[in-house]
Amino acid sequence: MNKIAVVGAGISGLSIASYLEKHQLDYHIYERRKKDDLTGHGFLLPKEGIEYLSQIVDPSELFKQGNFLKKYIRYSHKGKILAEKDLQDVFVISRSSLIHILARNIPPEKITYEETVTPCATQKGKLKKQDGTYLDSDLTIVSDGSKSRIRRETFKDETMKTVQENEIVNIIHCKDIAARLESNFMKYHHEDGGLTFGILKLSEDTVLWYSQLDNQKYKISEKSSVESLRNYMFDIFDDWDPMVSSIVKGSNYENVHLWRVYELETLNPFYKDNIVFIGDAAHPLIPFTSQGVTSALKDSYTLTQYLTSEENMTDAFRKYEAERKPEIEIHIRNGRILLDQFLKPLDQQTENILPISYK
């Protein structure tokens, strides 16, 4: 196998590079961000995700950095318990910790940070670096995220649309709240639908909270400042159960972030010529599925298997797509069902619904 370029060092880029490293294949990663700029919040990982991760990272290191959740408790916004479900092997970890652990697999000379790779306007199918030179790879693995510029240039007629949901996410440091949460995943739902508040413990002193909002009912400017997001949260959650309103009021907002959610109307092919897409770049998944990371890990595993077993690149790409696409389509369908449920008033939602898509 000749030289492979990997574009993007998120979970999918770093995980495929970890597999390529294991197989001693020749690769180089190009990443737009600075090395230590590890923004982001956290991920839920179902059992399958943990199993795939355990192939490329030391599980004991992994488990030190996150938390296993024991129970999902679904509440009304006034604090009435609506349903409870025991969880098995559902792990939560911050994005920065997971990126940090995966990046340890990559020798420093095999990754270039602060390098944005773009499609070349004049030479179809060519990718170039910031200095204007082309990527000198025989095969390029594109893992540059849900809004992938390379994908949009490659499949010009794709229809990317915004989903009727925004998320406001925050990570706070607070031992008291972490202790109160124990290992429960608590999620509060407004009775009119379209508004939730979820809380999870990431570690003994770190808590992740997030709010999902129907963006037709709850309009927030994309350019909202930290201050205006904070005021927005204060306003909306003021009369919720004290567990929620006290967290909203007592939080530090320096890590707060507003997420716009996107999806593709229809999936594109996962490859073209010598370029193959993995993770969110191939298939943005809405957060309701909790399958973004696990799918990225499975893409990386599957693609590497075929790259190492097939005679030629096109056969490897074809088999990778044939194996991964049907499962992704299930998660997309499940995600749309979960979104539809979320938008409905509480009394019309299916009881005991767990915010994870299973195939």
Ligand X SMILES: Cc1cc2nc3c(=O)[nH]c(=O)nc-3n(C[C@H](O)[C@H](O)[C@H](O)COP(=O)(O)OP(=O)(O)OC[C@H]3O[C@@H](n4cnc5c(N)ncnc54)[C@H](O)[C@@H]3O)c2cc1C
**83 vs 163, beta carbon nearer ligand X:** 163
Total residues contacting ligand X by CB under 6 A comes to: 32
Cβ-proximal residue to ligand X, closest one: 10
Residue 321 touches ligand X, criterion: CB under 6 A: no
Distances (CA, A) of 208 to 41, 104, 203, 205, 215: 7, 24, 9, 10, 21
* CA angle centred on 146, ends 141 and 147, rounded to 5°: 100
CB of 192 to ligand X, least distance (A): 25
CA distance 18 to 278: 14
**17 vs 195, beta carbon nearer ligand X:** 17
CB of 14 to ligand X, least distance (A): 8
CA distance 316 to 202: 38
Q: What are the DSSP calls for 285-340, one per residue?
A: --GGG--HHHHHHHHHHHHHHHHHHSSSHHHHHHHHHHHHHHHHHHHHHHHHHHHH
Distances (CA, A) of 261 to 214, 266, 314, 335, 348: 11, 16, 32, 12, 24
Using the structure block, give the residue that is written with the tokens 């070349």: 120
| Contacting residue, 28, 74, 77, 95, with ligand X by CB under 6 A | 95
CB of 338 to ligand X, least distance (A): 14
**122 vs 312, beta carbon nearer ligand X:** 122
Residue 335 touches ligand X, criterion: CB under 6 A: no
Let me know how many helices (H) and strands (E) the chain has, helices first: 10, 16
| Contacting residue, 3, 33, 71, 128, with ligand X by CB under 6 A | 33
Residue 355 touches ligand X, criterion: CB under 6 A: no
The residues facing 127 across adjacent strands are 119
Residue 117 touches ligand X, criterion: CB under 6 A: yes
Residue 116 touches ligand X, criterion: CB under 6 A: yes
Check: CB of residue 170 under 8 Å from CB of residue 251.
yes
CA distance 81 to 102: 38
Strands 4-7 and 275-277: unpaired
| Contacting residue, 6, 13, 304, 331, with ligand X by CB under 6 A | 13
**69 vs 293, beta carbon nearer ligand X:** 293
With CB under 6 A as the contact rule, which of the stretches 17-25, 28-36, 222-230, 320-328 interacts with ligand X? 28-36
Residue 24 contacts by C-beta under 8 Å, 6 or more apart in sequence? none
Residue 149 touches ligand X, criterion: CB under 6 A: yes
Interactions with ligand X, residue window 189-218 (CB under 6 A): none
CB of 299 to ligand X, least distance (A): 8
Interactions with ligand X, residue window 250-309 (CB under 6 A): 279-281, 287, 292-293, 296
| Contacting residue, 66, 119, 145, 194, with ligand X by CB under 6 A | 145
* CA angle centred on 136, ends 132 and 140, rounded to 5°: 105
Residue 341 touches ligand X, criterion: CB under 6 A: no
Residue 8 touches ligand X, criterion: CB under 6 A: yes
Instruction: Give the number of other Cβ atoms within 10 Å of residue 88's Cβ.
Output: 9
CA distance 33 to 96: 13
**78 vs 161, beta carbon nearer ligand X:** 161
**115 vs 241, beta carbon nearer ligand X:** 115
CB of 80 to ligand X, least distance (A): 28
Binding interface with ligand X (CB under 6 A): 7-13, 30-33, 39-43, 95, 116-118, 143-145, 149, 169, 279-281, 287, 292-293, 296
